[in-house]
Chain A
Amino acid sequence: AQKITQTQPGMFVQEKEAVTLDCTYDTSDPSYGLFWYKQPSSGEMIFLIYQGSYDQQNATEGRYSLNFQKARKSANLVISASQLGDSAMYFCAMKVQGGSEKLVFGKGTKLTVNP
């Protein structure tokens, strides 16, 4: 069975600093995709970044980058130059290729950016 583990219930970072949110995953399938979503207090889920299991390079999207270490089964999210608006819950999720492509989510990390 697929599983996502986020070990940091909460993280604090100073504005303009970088922060890394941890995510490890477990799957026996060779083909999978990893996602990060942001959920502000208003509740909507905002897609941030995607990494495919066969992608050779780490994904980057603006201030977001994904530190993908396949051998360690980790897919940590790095947010550079944190902004106050980055304060939110962050969820790591995994999609297994084939079938319905449903997502399995981690428990999330609450990020607080301090001024």
Chain B
Amino acid sequence: GAVVSQHPSRVICKSGTSVKIECRSLDFQATTMFWYRQFPKQSLMLMATSNEGSKATYEQGVEKDKFLINHASLTLSTLTVTSAHPEDSSFYICSARGVGPQHFGDGTRLSIL
């Protein structure tokens, strides 16, 4: 089946650091990828829709300058959390859609000290 790889799986860094998370579709081309954020014991909240070759579409309340999304190819989207602060600590998970349902990466646990 379709495989989505997300890297890194865990990041611990100091406040003020920028962190880049990669999302790759390994065996299919994904013109659209999605980035979600999940706080402990809560549901997934869509942050943005990443479109290959064009600007990402952000959900209401998500800061575009804080969460930079780049979808440079049909198999790779990146999310950069710029100047991360403790309140940005969360579980970030991407998904990609080829033919059929969205398939998710394994997620990234981001901890900002």
Contact = CB atoms under 8 A, between A and B. Distances in A.
Contacts of A103: 34, 44, 46, 95, 102
Nearest to B93: A45
Contacts, number: 50
B104 to A, nearest CB: 4
Nearest to A103: B102
B104 A105 contact: no
Contacts of A42: 106
Interface string A103-115: 1111110000000
Given A101-B32, A102-B49, A45 B104 contact: yes
Interface residues on B, range: 20 to 34
Interface residues of A, number: 20
Contacts of B43: 91, 105-108
B23 to A, nearest CB: 13
Nearest to A101: B97
Contacts of B100: 50
Contacts of B103: 47
Contacts of B51: 100
A108 B57 CA distance: 25
Interface in B21-47: 32, 34, 42-46
Interface of B: 32, 34, 42-46, 49, 51, 57, 91, 93, 95, 97, 100-107, 109
